[in-house]
Structures are given as C-alpha cells and as structure tokens.
Chain A
Amino acid sequence: MSEESPGYVGRSVPRVEDERLVRGAGRFVADLHVADAADVAFLRSTQAHALISRLDTSRARSMPGVIAVYEAADVVDQITPLVAAELRVPPGLAELGPINKVQPVPILANPEVTYVGQPVAMVVAESRYLAEDAVELIEIDYDELPAVVDLELAVAPDAPLVLIDEQDNVGVHIRHGKGDAARAIANAAVVVADTFSTQRHVCAPLETRGILAEQDPFSGALTVWSSTQTPHRLRDHIAESIDVLADDVRVQAVDVGGGFGQKGTVVVEELLVPYAARHLGRPVRWIADRYENLTADAHAREQVHHITVAADADGKLVAVQDRFLVNLGARNMTGLVVPYNALCHLVGPYQVDNVDIEATGVLTNTTFTSPYRGAGRPEATFAMERALDLLAIEIGMEPSELRRRNLIGPEQMPYRTGMLDRRGLPQEYDSGDYPELLSRAVDMIDLPSVRKRQSSPPAGGRVIGVGFAMYIEMTGSGPFEGARVEVTRSGRVRLYTGASSQGQGHRTTFAQILADSFGVDMADIDVVAGDTSRIPDGIGTVASRALVTAGNATRQAGHLLRQRVLDAAADVMESNPADLELNKGIISVVGSPTKSITLAELIRAVPHAPGGTGSDGLSETSYFRPPNYATASGAHAVVVEVEPLTGRVSVVDYVVVHEAGRIVNPRIADAQIVGGVAQGIGGILCEHIVYDPSGQPLTSTFADYAMPLASMIPDIRLDEIVCPSPTNPLGVKGLGEGGAVGPPAAIANAVEDALRRMAGADVTIRTGPLSPSRVLGLLAASPSLN
C-alpha cells in the first residue's frame, strides 16, 4: 500500500495505548495529582429563564476551607465573554444570505439566566466536598421569566423570548437547493410528506469534562491539563479571554475518556478555571460530575424535519423538500455546523434534480447544544431514509429496490451535486460505489430469507422487521492539521500533532503512518498528541478529520524528515545523500551496509559536523490542507424483533457495509464503526434528554438517561469496500462518525416494518426513542388493532 517498507499501513497492528490503560495506569485529568490543587464547584441556575433578584455569596466566602467565590461582578471585567470559533460563515454560504447570530456567552450569568444548569457562581475550596458545601450557602432568589422549551413553540408568533435582549428566537437560518422542487412535487406521480424528528441526546462520554490549571511561579505561564478534543482552540480561547499571550498558555490533552463532540465545544468553565488559577496563584481543577454532564454540558441532536419526497411512477426521485428546525439551546454556540451539515448531507447518496432545504436553528431555554458524532447527519438521514420507506410503501416497492434505483453510480464519480458544501464551495463526492454497498448489505442480511420468515406465523409471538439506511459523510474537514516530527537525543522519532485522541488510537495509527513514511520501526516512534507547546498550530479531533488531515501531515513530515536525515548523514559520513538509505533507523551506504550510522549517533554528530547545513537539528513540521472533503459512505441493514405484548425491540442482526477509502488499521477502523453503531442503537432505542414544559431537566442521572448496554448490542457484521480518496496522498477518509449515522433510520425502518405486519398501514414511526412504552403506544394508536 505504501511505497516504503516496512509497510505498517493497512495492518491491524495492536494498539500501543492499551497496556497502561488495562493496568489502571492511564492518566486522565482527574488522575493528575498537582500538589495544593484546589477544587471547584459551581452554583448553577435552577431556573430555565429568570432574572436573579438577589445573590448573596457572603456566607460561602467566609466558610472555612473556601479559597474564593466568583460571581459575575467579579469576572465581568476580567474574562471576555465566550464566542465560539465555529461561528464563522464561509464566503460561498454568506451569499445564500444566512442568519447566524453571534451571541457571546456570559462567563457567569447575572441578572438573566437562560437555562437550568447555567453557571452563576464558582466556588474554589480545599476539596470538592467543601466547595459543594459552600455552594449550598449561597443565597439566590429569582424573578421568573416565561421560558420556552419546545422548538416548534419557540418559533410560533407569540413565543416568549429565550434571551430578553434578542428580537426573536432564531439563531441560525439558511436555505439552499437546486432546480425547482415545488414544481417537481406538483407534477410528480407519487408524493410523500411527513414529519420526522430526532429527540434530544447527550454525548455522555464516560469521562466527564475536566480541567486543571496551574500557573508557573517562575515564568508566570499557565499549564492547562484538559479533556478537550481541541487543545489549540482551547489555548487560543483562554489566551484571548483572560488576556495572556498564547505563548504563555500550554494546553495538554492527557488521556481523554471519550468526547464524541461534547468536548469539542469550549465552555465558560474552561475559561474560569485558568483565570482562577492565575488570580489565586494556586492550581485549580474542575471535574464535572455526571449531573453536570447530563444537565449542564452540551446536548445534541434535537431536530424536527418536515420533509416531502416526490418520485415518478417507477420510483425515480424527482424532488426533495425539507423544512427543518434544530434546537440550539439557549445560545447559538456552533452556528452553521449542525444545521448546514444536516442540510448538505440530507439527500446523501441519491441523485435528485430538485432540492429545496431550509434549516432554522431555534433558541430555547435549554442547555446549549453541540455537534455529536455525525453532527446533523444522523438526524438528516433519519428524515430522508424514513421518507424513502414511506415512498416505497406508497409505490408498493421493496425499500431496498427503491434505493437502488436512485443511487449515484460509481461511473459518475467524482460527482457534483449542484449544491454547496460546508465550505461554500461546489459539493463534490470524491469517490465511492453506493450500489455495491447496498447490494452487499441486501445479500448479507439475506433479504429474501427475511421476507420468507415474515410470511410465516411469528415464532413465540415475536414479529420481525427489516430495515435499511444509507448515508454519505463528507469527512476530513479542514482547514488543516499539522505534524511535527523530530529525531530525539536518544535516537527515537517523535511525532507531535494537534489531533489528540479521545480513545481512537492515534498513538498507534499515526505511528504506523510515520513508520512507513520515515523508515523506522513503530517501536521507535512516540506520538505526542494534543500538547500545544510542541506544535504551534492545530485544530483537534472532531468531524471525522484526524486521519485525513493529521494522517497526511504526518506522512508529509515523515518524508521531509527522511530527506533531512539523509542530508545530515551525508555531511557526517562525507558521502552523497543519493548514495544513502534509511532503514529501521539505520542510515547506510547503499551496497555497503557496514558503513552505517544510527539515528542516535547522527543526532549527536550533527552539531559537530564541519560546515553543516546551519540547521539546528533533525525536525520537520508539515501542515496538510485537504483540497476537498473525502466522502465516506455506508449501507446499514438490520433485522429487529418486536414483542407485541411488551413493546420490547431487540436488534437480532445488524450489518454494516462501509466505504472509507484506504484503511490504516483495520481492527481500529472496524471498532470505530461498531462503537458508532452502538451509539446509534442507543439513540433510537433508549436515549432521550427530557425537559418538562417549564424547562426542568428530568434526565439527570444514568438511571433516567438510558445508555445502551451490552445486551442491546448484537455481534455486528461488517463488510467494506475501498475506493481510495483522490483528495489526499494516503487515499484515506474519515470514519469516526459514520457508524452512528445509519442506525436510527435503519432500526426505525425495521421496527415499522414489523409493526405494519401487525397493525397494517397506519403505523408510522416519526421519532425515537423506540422504548417499549412508545412501541406499545404506537400499536395502541393503530385503528386496525382496536
């Protein structure tokens, strides 16, 4: 696969991360022991929308063990309100005339609080126990304001304002399409119009958000250990908001226990903690508890799609029209990211000439939202793929056959959709073979056999259903990621990149790439990801981008370093670089292997080389800026069993056929897909962040917010095809998110297929989660069963 030996890329190399983690020797932020570190607890709003009428922190401030209490007045002139970097609108999309309101987040709220969980005061104390005691001593009174929670109600004409200083509750709006959808729909043979919603989720990585900051007493510089997905962004936010030089802020993402998008959004707590560490001259840490994670950290996914699909009598799609709402929560934190991702992925792998999609990001008095694995794609795919199933039923066609008739063919690649991508440039799918994905999925799930089983009486009263979903995912978003590689004093090779890992195994996969491109054993490589002091610029691990961007940067840097090593060795060995080769860390003269020098010997010899190159050592930095997205794709097929008496849904067979370009580490890649599928299964079967109408969160523990457990996840069967991406030298595509995109639609399609066998044509699944009570409700509402 790679042009160089020894060929690590493409092999399931065991992960180098694992041994210390299975020994309990990982070091997550909460595991770091910094002497004299003080702990933080927050007073958070208990009201969805209110004005604080009285806030008295005096008793808390005088409590023994309390070091400091900060309220809004203490920090308003000290920390700049948070404005997320994600709010930029690229020029191409600006021409569409979008609304994208910049709504700076107050560091601590006062007087207006806009969601339950919003930070109002921060207590720093000798322990978390004492900090929580002190929070209890803070006295606060509120004057309630009208709150709005439901996103349809929030855009109704008489809706109360979510933020009293705004004119309305719209944070984002954009409309984009091609052709003439209204006309095509008016003239179409078959039209299906319905509403499909994705309920509110939370990423809930098992490690909650954490941050520990310490000011160096000698230099005054800040060291920040964080569970962030985007260390360089966090560094820049901290530097700007508390007015220190970015050079004097070092953010290190240590072991991070999952992120999935939640830790890719900077929050005010991450600015307050470094500020306090500096203000107090003492290390300060905050580790969110699960209550904070579920109620006061970013939520996700809540969307309502009013979608219309139209086709001719043969099932050929002629138009897609969609008006959808995205619940942004109490502020526009990430702008177009989720709404536009949903918009430009909705039509997906299908060829449709007339498209009209309008996205509205709606403010509500609920916790702010962030991208979550898939970032708009699972929600859009749910609407589109549900609509396709209804269309297939309307036409009387096998749903997989309807899909087959509309797929973009491999011969059409690269395929221009006629729409604009997330960068505002013409949307182009670089490579793929969607019919092959579908065909394999149909074969693997053995559709004819499932249909045959469905025609006989259900075994044990359990009814089975089969469902499909397809999607594309434009991965590897830019603008860039970097890699710095160097030969260390001991002769090892070290890679630094901003694309840190939250469990994806970057220390293994990036080392595989570097081992091949540079020419050493993997065992001689150390990967340091997410330390801002080691590479000046970076973005992070979000949006299925790390392998495409950082992976290719690593490859480039490896090549550059290889040449530099050969040049330096030529100086030291007094020979011609072209006569030298580098293999397994040893540089030798081609044809006379005894004349050689090791990397360790070389790095020590360089300063002594007469008339050297003037360079200070053996290191190279490379940034890779992808010219286009690398578009991955997948087909999911699932068989479910529904128990009519209990409403329980079991996933009995799950098949994924995916395409994500060249695969660097198959075992890691497969596990990313499976992990994503499990999150999707949880999303459609049990996960739901629930608010009551007054804006009180009702799902604040894992007993209320039901996470998928092992018994819900079958042994998922995988297949893949490989269409190398022409957008980057490695030919790779991102696949971190893809697995999570298909399950909600595929499972809903399968459950509805099962329910329709019991209840006839009048069961339509419009939202999740498909908990037993909801499934029973769907059956109970069916006239044909009553």
Chain B
Amino acid sequence: MTELTSTTSSRRRILAPPASESTARHEIAVQINGEAIEAEVESRLLLTDFLRERLGLTGTHVGCEQGSCGACTVLLDDVPIRSCLLLAPQIDGRSIRTVEGLAERDGTPNKMQQAFCDHHGLQCGFCTPGLLITLTSLAEREVPVTLDELDHHLDSSICRCTGYMNIRNAARYALGLMPPRVEDRSGERDGP
C-alpha cells in the first residue's frame, strides 16, 4: 500500500487501496472524530476496514462482520450504526465518531468510559468500544433514558466475558438511573 497525502490539514497517514484491487475507486470526504479527511476508497471497502486499516483507528473492533455482535458500532451523524454493514463510499459527506473520539476535550475519559473503569464493566475489552458508543449516545441525548430503554440498548451488543452485570451497573450509574448499586466490595475482604 502506498501513502496518500491528505489534502486537508490532517497529518493522519491515510493508506490507499492496494494497487491490484479491481473495484472502482471513489474519492470521499468525511469528518472522523471532528477531523476532515479525504481519501480514495474502493467500492467494496467496508467502513470498518476503512477506519481500521486505512486510517489506523483500530479502536473500532470487528467481532462478526454480520451485524450481530455490535463491537463495530460507531456514530454516523450521531446515530449508532454497525460499521461492518456499511461501505466506505456510502459515508461520503457524513460524519463518524469512533471510540477514539469519545474522551472529553481535555483528554479525560467521558463519563461512560470512566463508569466502565469504576464498575469493572470490561474484561477483555473487545466488545467495549461498541458498547461505549451506544451508551454514550444515550447519555448525550436530551430526553431522559429509562431503565427499559437502557436494557433494550444493552441487547444490541454481545459481550462474552462479563455476563453484562457490571456493564449494566456502569451504564445505570453514568446515566444517573441509580446510585452505584454494586455490592460494594471495594474494601478489605479476608479469609477466616
């Protein structure tokens, strides 16, 4: 792959399609995490692969490429979507936000990210970016979120490690739905 110099002010390294790729090329202009990016992409390039392989934004994970697991969820114009079910040319002119774009302006983790850390809401961390995207979009909307809605949204992602309980607790806390109702075992616990 060769390097393509971006025409924008971005200093991001953007990789071009492999020379032998036979599908048609498209020039797309997109906003990724607030950064204007122009790139040449082939017709069949999945949005996940555009983000991960061409832009180096590997925080968006690929769990199934079948639209089922939710690990690749990103915000497309502020709406959570499965990035494995879209092609890169389809996002021309749109804006994308990935897990790399969730932190606050000063670089500190956002409230949902922090709640995941505080409530042990992740183990391997592979599904985490997709869940953080989905739950952050809930947290950022103006209409209050109900518990039922939260449960509905949690079912959009598969987590194989945690059993969801700590994710649910983290989300409830960050959404202000309840105090941190974790059985507080943060203190000493010793044997007989």
Contact = CB atoms under 8 A, between A and B. Distances in A.
A478 to B, nearest CB: 24
B50 to A, nearest CB: 12
B79 interface: no
Q: Which of B19, B59, B114, B127 has the most C-beta atoms of chain A within 10 angstroms of its own C-beta?
A: B59
Given A23-B103, A204-B160, A724-B191, A701 B64 contact: yes
Interface in B116-172: 116-118, 120, 122-129, 132, 151, 154-155, 157-168
B151 A12 contact: no
B34 interface: no
Q: Please tell me the size bucket of the interface on A.
A: 35 or more
Nearest to A36: B1
A608 interface: no
B134 to A, nearest CB: 11
B179 interface: no
A130 B166 contact: no
B99 interface: yes
Contacts of A290: 63-66, 69
A207 interface: yes
A14 interface: yes
Interface in A555-598: none
B188 A26 contact: no
A693 interface: no
A677 interface: yes
Interface residues of B, number: 68
A661 B65 CA distance: 41
B69 A206 contact: yes
B155 A711 contact: yes
A718 B185 CA distance: 11
Contacts of A715: 165, 168
Given A290-B63, A675-B162, A722-B191, A701 B128 contact: no
B109 interface: yes
Nearest to A26: B125
Interface string B88-105: 000000000011101100
Interface string A213-225: 0000000000000
Given A666-B189, A667-B185, A702-B64, A25 B158 contact: no
Nearest to A208: B63
B192 A11 contact: no
Interface string A108-145: 00000000000000000011011000000000000000
Contacts of B61: 28, 30, 206-207, 257
Contacts of A670: 183, 185
A726 interface: no
Contact of A677 (B154, B163, B183): B163
B124 A258 contact: yes
Contacts of B60: 24
B160 A21 contact: no
Contacts of B18: 65, 126-127, 130
Q: Which of A667, A723, A724 has the most C-beta atoms of chain B within 10 angstroms of its own C-beta?
A: A667
Contacts of B63: 206-208, 290
A679 interface: yes
A155 B21 CA distance: 50
Contacts of A703: 66, 68
A interface, by DSSP: helix, strand, loop or mixed?
Answer: loop
Nearest to A256: B124
A616 interface: no
Contacts of B190: 1, 10, 722
B129 A24 contact: yes
B191 A130 contact: no
A15 B64 contact: no
Contact of A65 (B20, B102, B128, B185): B20
A329 B120 CA distance: 37
Contact of B188 (A10, A289, A676): A10
B56 interface: yes
Interface string B178-190: 0000010111111
A28 B120 CA distance: 20
B44 interface: yes
B69 A674 contact: no
Contacts of B32: none
Given A22-B116, A24-B98, A678-B164, A671 B158 contact: no
Contact of A14 (B64, B117, B166): B117
B159 A206 contact: yes
Q: Which of A1, A27, A289, A671 has the most C-beta atoms of chain B within 10 angstroms of its own C-beta?
A: A671
Given A21-B125, A28-B126, A724-B191, A701 B66 contact: yes
A503 B151 contact: no
Contact of A207 (B68, B126, B188): B126
Nearest to A18: B117
Contacts of A23: 59, 99-100, 102-103, 109, 113
A19 interface: yes
A701 B68 contact: yes
A713 B125 CA distance: 19
A713 B58 contact: no
Contacts of B45: 129
Nearest to A9: B190
Contact of B116 (A18, A260, A731): A18
B25 interface: no
Contact of B122 (A18, A33, A678): A18
Given A503-B123, A722-B191, A22 B132 contact: yes
Interface in B32-77: 44-45, 52, 56-66, 68-69, 71
B113 to A, nearest CB: 4
A17 B44 contact: no
A104 to B, nearest CB: 31
A255 interface: yes
Nearest to B154: A710
A710 B56 contact: no
B154 to A, nearest CB: 4
Contact of A716 (B69, B109, B163): B163
A286 to B, nearest CB: 14
Contact of A258 (B19, B160, B192): B160
Contacts of A208: 63
B166 to A, nearest CB: 6
- 9 interchain residue pairs of minimum CB distance: A24-B59, A503-B124, A678-B163, A65-B20, A257-B126, A21-B125, A24-B99, A702-B68, A31-B58
15 contacts: A17-B125, A22-B114, A22-B128, A23-B100, A31-B58, A126-B18, A208-B63, A290-B63, A666-B189, A667-B186, A671-B123, A671-B166, A679-B160, A711-B155, A723-B191
